[in-house]
Structure 1
Amino acid sequence: MFAKISVLLAFLSLSLRSIAKADGSSHVEVRDDLHFPFHARATNNDGSLPVYKNSKSSIEDRVNDLLPRMTLDEKVAQLIQGDIDGWMDMSDPLDDTLMFNQTGLEQMMAQKAGAIWGGYLAKWDKIVFAITVGQKYLMENTTLGIPALFQTEGLHGFTDNGTIWPSPIGLAASFNTDLLQQAAATIADEAEGLGYSQVFAPVLDLSRELRWGRVEENFGEDPFLTGEMGHAYVTGLQAGRRRNASSTAIARMASTCKHFAAFGSPQGGLNIAQVSGGERELRTMFLKPFNRACVESLAIMTAYSSYDGIPAVANTRTSDYHLDKPLFDLIGSLADLLTDIFGDYVFFNASLNGISPLAGFTQFLSNTSTKINYADGSKLWSNDESEIPAAVSAAQSSDVAIVMVGTWSLDQTLLWTPGTNATTGEHVDLSDLGLVGAQLKLVQAVKATGKPTVVVLVSGKPVAEPWIQANADAVIQQFYPGELGGLALAEVVFGAVNPSGKLPVSFPRNVGTTPVFYNYIKGSRPLDPGSVLDDGTLVFGHQASPPSMAYDI
């Protein structure tokens, strides 16, 4: 009964209009100025095709024709995000049941029909089934037949068994916009094939608060680099038009620039905490990447925080701006793990799609006489030192020791599962930037053997361990890699590839010396120290190998 009353009121709101009289009073009368009948709003009075259904008409003309036909409820439903779990059971990533709930479908589409979240980890045929059911219902069983945008994730790869690229912080270390544009195009290829039309990326927050768990999702601390990499992502994702689309289509996938704005510098490094700053910092730093990358982006996601005490979603200040075969050993839990080193925003069982460092080294050395002595050394999250002697023994039996330590994250299923642990990722914020557990003691014990020791930091953010920088024979920074990260690491270690990456973010000596981003006004900092130390800082743009290229800005 209530639904029928609501529909009746909606029709009345369309069919009636208020007429003002000369004496200031007004009266209501039936409208006679519309070109469509109220009982069949998807048609025209003269029998012609409505402009909003004409794919050859301009977008502006189609929108102007559609809006007067819509009831208030229909307009509101376009503004609220729906979810395919309203008609599908998406609780099990491995389930392949192709069934839907008709009642749930109808209720969802009546209230939340404009954009629908579907970025689940599921079998591809189940995703296609869910999207097809939703779109067919909207097109064939609603008055106006307006299709929905179906949304998913694609921060560094399509998150339902798609190609996995390095985390954005690692992509930014390439300083290679052309390469990123090509990677973004693959994300659109894979998402479009299943029926998605919007991807929630890129992230354009700046990595200036390193305790924040989502540093790995950013392109670094610099607004210029972030803007250029973001623009490359948007261009690669959106370029072209969808299969079977009309000639007026302007993109094949909608990118979503986020989080607008200043979201990546929360107080205390705590996710969604307030951000404090002034107008100059807002415009000089936080808004610049959006101005560069998002002018052509079809969507923007607001930040969930406040800036200078004003919620981002209502902040007009932001909206107004537009080797010769040696014997070596490989040590560390990270050497034989994948789920932990792909970073967040990857899919369930993503480890099955990649090459671990141990597998990569084995593959690279398969036709040589070089032997690999592998030892676990320590668990990432544990203070237990009982496995360190085995690592020491492996190092003593080798010519070179390669120790892999760092941070870790989890896939989008496990990251949000109670009882699991990680040191980076959305909602995983830390008060310390040092290594967790017995990892540092493992490095120190291996180095004490006297064997040349290469430390590989596999992480989603800067690791602050000045002892390693001062004492290791070599340090390699590998931000969370893509599917071939294990093989790529082997190629760098053995000199097959020049390690030409540049740091997109500065590394502090410890959490107490943050912030350490390079671009601040140098001044008004008096110094009266008890002692002066090498601060151990590696700054933005640092490159280990001689550069073979120049950049013009």
Structure 2
Amino acid sequence: MPPMKRNLTCLTLATLMVAGQLAPTPLLAKPASSATERAPVDSAGWTRADPKMDRFVADLMAKMTLDEKIGQLSLLTSDWDSTGPTMRQGYQDDIRKGRIGSIFNAFTAKYTRDLQRLAVEETRLKIPLLFGYDVVHGHRTIFPISLGESASWDLDAIEKSARISATEAAAEGIHWTFAPMVDVARDPRWGRMSEGAGEDVFLGSKIAAARVRGFQGDDLKRVDTVLATAKHFAAYGAAQAGRDYHTVDISERTLRDVYLPPFKAAADAGAATFMTSFNEYDGVPASGSHYLLTDVLRKKWGFKGFIVTDYTSINEMVSHGYSKDLEQAGEQAINAGVDMDLQGAVFMDHLARSVAEGKVDVKRVDAAVKAILEMKYRLGLFEDPYRYSDEAREKATVYRADFFEAARDVARKSIVLLKNKDGALPLAASAKSIALIGPLGDSKEDMIGSWAAAGDRKTRPVTLLEGLQARAPKGTTVAYAKGAGYQFTDAGKTDGFAEAIALAQKSDVIVAAMGEHWNMTGEAASRTSLDLPGNQQALLEELKKTGKPIILVLMSGRPNSIEWADANVDAILEAWYPGTMGGHAVADVLYGDYNPSGKLPVTFPRNVGQVPIYYDMKNTGRPIKPEEPNAKYVSRYLDTPNTPLYPFGYGLSYTSFAYSPVTLDKTKIRPGEPLTASVTVTNSGARDGEEVVQLYVRDLVGSVTRPVKELKGFEKLMLKKGEKRTVRFTLTDADLAFTRQDMSWGSEPGQFKLWVGPSSAEGQEAGFELTE
């Protein structure tokens, strides 16, 4: 596979350069928030002019009837699988009639070939189908959930994960993935936090671009690429009370500064498609928002791909109270900028009438059809409609050994060490008996989490029990007792406690594998509590009474409330849902074969009462002072500190790192002039290890209030024990830009602070000034 090309014109001056590295550090994409006024960047190549394609598509469209055009705008599910209630059966007949242009939830080379044959051999114009699927964090080989991958802070690893996912999916006939999800998520009650990159704009923008590059590669004509979809446009992650599909009510400034930047980064990276969100913005459902879909996405950003709705979201505009009936909903959606109707059959059933009545201009229909046909052309489907449906290639590609090894590596990188009292980890050789306890200790189905595409939940995932038994030194026994349940109905029960406690009492160390059932995260999986569900907490407290060391391994798709555990157990690993090879990866970390390097992409609250809580909140007019924690008339809680349990960017290692004071090459800069901040990081511990060096900036005074700090750069380093390295971050005024009081985009002169350190909560500080 040739190396992926990256268009350097989209890269920021905030480039991270590490002195003494043997290979150049990959450049990081410019914060999308500071790119919202720039022309789009063609990093994938598909937007380049292609006169031959233009002629082909124009000739084809000249032959199409209105009904055939509307068919290209219709995406329906096969009967293979479904992510919701199927609204229309008999799709094979619809394909023959040219009423469907795309199918989702269909895969395998044979199945997609059979469906494709209907379109290219039994229809008048022989237009091939486009096959889509939710390939979110793997296809057959499943990587950690997206939130977990984001905890690696390793853009190359994340891009490789998407590349492998695309390769497997494409080998099974899939042309198009409904990923990446790039919604900023700041409320862990929302189950779909698990599908994205967490709470931060900068990190989320980098990861969005990496995933798009991974899925699409550098040439859509290659048969190991799939179209990427940036979803859910827009502000879906801001659902009130963390309840899925709920109302979103945020300011225009917050939309621009927080929720749009990762989408802009995905567009700049070349995302071929965008998916609308279920929510409303400013009182208008996203699938009917001309402002979002046309004014922002197409006109301001110059997006040239096509826009698909989420599942039946056009139909849901009636329930929103925005449309009187489905016919009006279809008119509002296509006139707003929607090109393809996913599963609702609204365009299929009503659009022709709307055109006939003059409510929808046929030119708008033509524009949507053109965008879709162009993408089919760019994939090479008109040259060979079956090029993705090759059974020999499928057999040679899925479940490759190197894919499994890559999944294991990404899972290791994603694990975050949250606590390690007195060096409880790595497990000592003297621990000859290990009690593995908890509902997630030997559960194959949970290892791969939600949205696991075609992943096998029954046989292939490696459980923690299997991983520990395979890794434990000779003479060490690993025994398992489930002990507790993780369903809500398990609360109050004690079945299994006695067996688990007896096992713990006769063992040297307890590894408690706890968290959430896989279907408690993802879509339609909101919670009002962040506590460990079921009776897990009660069992954990009983295990504490045995006096044995306890290692808590968490598997979940959101931050859980584990304040008691933080105070009472010896070590805590956040493993998320680690994927097909998760059991081996966790065992690698428990035994020290891999030194954990993950950092949190989300803030861990102490309890649900602190939610929403994120690191870049604003100061308020009455900020609490650390030296006066009990002051009355300040912005604080009476019963809980303002601080989180674990801050954004936090994660421990089996070694230690020391940071020198930060030095600046100047303390004043003019617009366009670079500022370089340098810090020397030393591995001061006894093991080799990786550290994520993070740069944060605060604008002290602005025309509107500004966050207490914002991530502006990071670099992941591997340092041998005793090794030191100087990290240099370069900033200009472009990196300090935001939506100003007059709603224009730009920076403002004034005083700034910056910090370089291991998390959002600590670092070496320096100050500088941006002049006129």
Give how far 1:204 is off: 0.6
CA-based RMSD of the aligned residues comes to 2.4
Q: Which of 201, 214, 234 is the equivalent residue of 1:261?
A: 234
Give, as a single letter, the amino acid of the residue that structure 2 aligns with 1:353.
Answer: R
Q: Bigger relative contact order, structure 1 or 2, given CA contacts below 8 A and separation 6+?
A: 2
Structure-2 change in CA distance of 1:61 and 1:471 (3 Å): same
- SS of residue matched to 2:275: strand
What do the CA deviations read for 1:21-80 (whole angstroms, capped 9, x no partner)? xxxxxxxxxxxxxxxxxxxxxxxxxxxxxxxxxxx9533332233322221111111111
Structure-2 change in CA distance of 1:440 and 1:110 (3 Å): same
What do the CA deviations read for 1:158-187 (whole angstroms, capped 9, x no partner)? 1xxx11111000000001111111111112
Q: Check if 1:276 corresponds to 2:381.
A: no
Alignment correspondent of 2:225: 252
Alignment correspondent of 2:648: 540
- SS of residue matched to 1:405: strand
What do the CA deviations read for 1:473-506 (whole angstroms, capped 9, x no partner)? 1111111111111111111112111110000111
Q: Which of 185, 193, 198 is the equivalent residue of 1:220?
A: 198
User: Once the two structures are aligned, what percentage of the paired residues are identical?
Assistant: 33
Q: Is the 8 A contact 1:206 1:221 kept in 2?
A: yes
Alignment correspondent of 1:208: 186
Q: Check if 1:356 corresponds to 2:463.
A: yes
Structure-2 change in CA distance of 1:528 and 1:113 (3 Å): closer
Q: Which of 469, 481, 494 is the equivalent residue of 2:566?
A: 469
Q: Check if 1:388 corresponds to 2:382.
A: no
Q: Is the 8 A contact 2:514 2:536 kept in 1?
A: yes
Q: Is the 8 A contact 1:287 1:318 kept in 2?
A: no
Q: Is the 8 A contact 2:76 2:91 kept in 1?
A: no
Give, as a single letter, the amino acid of the residue that structure 2 aligns with 1:403.
Answer: A
Alignment correspondent of 2:110: 129
Give how far 1:354 is off: 1.4
What do the CA deviations read for 1:81-133 (whole angstroms, capped 9, x no partner)? 13333xxxx379xxxxxxxxx9852333435322211346xxx3xxx333223
Q: Check if 1:64 corresponds to 2:38.
A: no
Structure-2 change in CA distance of 1:370 and 1:169 (3 Å): same
Q: Is the 8 A contact 1:462 1:505 kept in 2?
A: yes
Q: Check if 1:150 corresponds to 2:137.
A: no
Distance in 1 between residues matched to 2:103 and 2:640, nearest whole Å:
56
Give how far 1:528 is off: 6.5
Give how far 1:390 is off: 2.1
Alignment correspondent of 2:431: 326
Distance in 2 between residues matched to 1:429 and 1:529, nearest whole Å:
25
Distance in 2 between residues matched to 1:244 and 1:258, nearest whole Å:
24
- SS of residue matched to 1:373: strand
Distance in 2 between residues matched to 1:308 and 1:105, nearest whole Å:
39
Structure-2 change in CA distance of 1:197 and 1:516 (3 Å): same
Distance in 2 between residues matched to 1:116 and 1:427, nearest whole Å:
23
Q: Which of 97, 103, 118 is the equivalent residue of 2:105?
A: 118
Give how far 1:374 is off: 2.2
Q: Which of 151, 158, 180 is the equivalent residue of 1:180?
A: 158
- SS of residue matched to 2:485: coil
Alignment correspondent of 1:53: none
Give how far 1:220 is off: 0.8
Alignment correspondent of 1:298: 272
Give how far 1:435 is off: 1.0
Distance in 2 between residues matched to 1:534 and 1:267, nearest whole Å:
21
What do the CA deviations read for 1:451-473 (whole angstroms, capped 9, x no partner)? 11111111111001211111111
Q: Is the 8 A contact 2:228 2:272 kept in 1?
A: yes
Structure-2 change in CA distance of 1:242 and 1:277 (3 Å): closer
Give how far 1:267 is off: 1.4
Distance in 1 between residues matched to 2:501 and 2:225, nearest whole Å:
54
Give, as a single letter, the amino acid of the residue that structure 2 aligns with 1:336.
Answer: D
Q: Is the 8 A contact 1:206 1:264 kept in 2?
A: yes
Give, as a single letter, the amino acid of the residue that structure 2 aligns with 1:405.
Answer: M
Structure-2 change in CA distance of 1:279 and 1:492 (3 Å): same
Query: Which structure's CA Rg is the greater one?
Result: 1
Unaligned runs of 5+ in 2: 1-49, 83-88, 302-427, 623-633, 658-689, 694-713, 716-728, 730-772
Distance in 1 between residues matched to 2:116 and 2:549, nearest whole Å:
61
Q: TM-score, normalised by structure 2?
A: 0.57
Give, as a single letter, the amino acid of the residue that structure 1 aligns with 2:73.
Answer: L
Alignment correspondent of 1:316: 290
Distance in 1 between residues matched to 2:73 and 2:588, nearest whole Å:
49
Distance in 2 between residues matched to 1:192 and 1:348, nearest whole Å:
15
Kindly indicate which of the two structures has a greater share of residues assigned to strand: 2
Alignment correspondent of 1:41: none
- SS of residue matched to 2:103: strand
Q: Check if 1:401 corresponds to 2:473.
A: no
Q: Is the 8 A contact 1:204 1:257 kept in 2?
A: yes
Distance in 2 between residues matched to 1:448 and 1:252, nearest whole Å:
54
Q: Higher mean Cα deviation, 522-531 or 492-501? A: 522-531
Q: Check if 1:522 corresponds to 2:522.
A: no
Give, as a single letter, the amino acid of the residue that structure 2 aligns with 1:227.
Answer: S
Alignment correspondent of 2:172: 194
Structure-2 change in CA distance of 1:535 and 1:444 (3 Å): farther
Q: Is the 8 A contact 1:502 1:542 kept in 2?
A: yes
Structure-2 change in CA distance of 1:537 and 1:104 (3 Å): closer
Q: Is the 8 A contact 1:234 1:255 kept in 2?
A: yes
Give how far 1:317 is off: 3.5
Q: Higher mean Cα deviation, 385-394 or 428-437? A: 385-394
Structure-2 change in CA distance of 1:133 and 1:389 (3 Å): closer
Structure-2 change in CA distance of 1:518 and 1:119 (3 Å): farther
- SS of residue matched to 2:435: strand
Q: How does 1:366-385 map to 2 (within 5 A)?
A: 367-381=473-487, 382-383=490-491, 384-385=493-494
Give, as a single letter, the amino acid of the residue that structure 2 aligns with 1:351.
Answer: K
Distance in 2 between residues matched to 1:476 and 1:70, nearest whole Å:
58
Q: How does 1:100-119 map to 2 (within 5 A)?
A: 105-110=92-97, 112-119=99-106
Structure-2 change in CA distance of 1:325 and 1:529 (3 Å): closer
Q: Which of 521, 532, 555 is the equivalent residue of 1:435?
A: 532
Q: Which of 466, 486, 491 is the equivalent residue of 2:588?
A: 491
- SS of residue matched to 1:294: helix
Structure-2 change in CA distance of 1:280 and 1:200 (3 Å): same
Distance in 2 between residues matched to 1:531 and 1:151, nearest whole Å:
49
The number of equivalent residue pairs is 459
Give, as a single letter, the amino acid of the residue that structure 2 aligns with 1:352.
Answer: T
Q: TM-score, normalised by structure 1?
A: 0.78
Distance in 2 between residues matched to 1:233 and 1:212, nearest whole Å:
22
Distance in 2 between residues matched to 1:288 and 1:231, nearest whole Å:
11
- SS of residue matched to 1:264: helix
Q: Is the 8 A contact 1:406 1:457 kept in 2?
A: yes
Give how far 1:530 is off: 4.2
Structure-2 change in CA distance of 1:524 and 1:237 (3 Å): same
Distance in 2 between residues matched to 1:483 and 1:517, nearest whole Å:
31
Give, as a single letter, the amino acid of the residue that structure 1 aligns with 2:226.
Answer: M
